[in-house]
């Protein structure tokens, strides 16, 4: 590949990545997939990833921390967050480490209980067993642990 083509491709890759990062942080996997989808050569994709890693704009650990913080505000449980990070290509070790850090300051049971109480208000005139099933499904879809869900439903 000629040097001019290489430089043009690299500039195109940088432009794409800057645009994506302007919206939100991205995992390395997400950026790589986007650049590949734009039909950029592998060498340019790798060069761009190295460039942004060098600027510390691509950092999977930092991305995972921010993703977890934003998802806990929704609030979602750790199971769902783990799945989302896996889908975004974050290594399992990084996911576990960042979730462990986040769990120190997060009370999953209290959060799930608050969600369940809020949701249960919508089910006032429904059979109690049906309410428990609906709450179980709701909390499960939000990614809370089964043991947490069972405890919450017992207390409602």
In this predicted model, what pLDDT tens digit does every residue of 126-146 receive, in sequence order? 999 999 999 999 999 999 999
User: The tokens of 106 are what?
Assistant: 């997060």
With H, G, I as helix, E, B as strand and everything else as coil, classify residue 84: helix
pLDDT over 80 (residue 100): yes
Could you please report the per-residue DSSP string of 6-29? HHHHHHHHHHHHHHHHHHS---HH
CATH of 3-58, one of 3.40.50.10860, 1.10.10.10, 3.30.390.10, 3.40.190.10: 1.10.10.10
Q: Mean pLDDT across the stretch 143-153?
A: 96
0.85 surpassed by pTM: yes
pLDDT in tens, 36-82: 999 999 999 999 999 999 999 999 999 999 999 999 999 999 999 99
With H, G, I as helix, E, B as strand and everything else as coil, classify residue 3: helix
- Residue among 43, 70, 44, 48 nearest 58 (CA): 48
Boundaries of every domain in the chain: 3-58, 61-103, 108-154
Question: CB within 8 A of 30, min separation 6: which ones?
Answer: 20, 88, 89
Torsion of CA 69, 71, 75, 80, to 10 degrees: -130
Omega of the bond prior to 75 within 30 degrees of 0, cis?
yes
- Residue among 73, 54, 53 nearest 63 (CA): 53
Please report, rounded to a whole number, the percentage of residues in the chain having pLDDT higher than 70.
99
């Amino acid at each position: 590949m000629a040097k001019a083509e290489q430089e043009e491709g690299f500039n195109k890759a940088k432009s794409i990545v800057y645009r994506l990062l302007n919206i939100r942080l991205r995992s390395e996997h997400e950026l790589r997939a986007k650049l590949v989808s734009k039909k950029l050569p592998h060498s340019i994709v790798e060069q761009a990833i190295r460039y942004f890693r060098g600027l510390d704009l691509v950092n999977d650990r930092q991305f995972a921390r921010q993703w977890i913080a934003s998802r806990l505000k929704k609030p979602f449980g750790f199971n769902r967050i783990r799945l989302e990070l896996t889908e975004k290509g974050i290594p399992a070790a990084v996911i576990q480490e960042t979730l462990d850090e986040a769990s120190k300051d997060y009370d999953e049971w209290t959060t799930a209980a608050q969600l369940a109480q809020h949701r249960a208000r919508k089910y006032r005139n429904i059979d109690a067993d049906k309410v428990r099933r609906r709450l179980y499904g709701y909390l499960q879809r939000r990614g809370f642990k089964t043991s947490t869900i069972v405890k919450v439903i017992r207390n409602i």
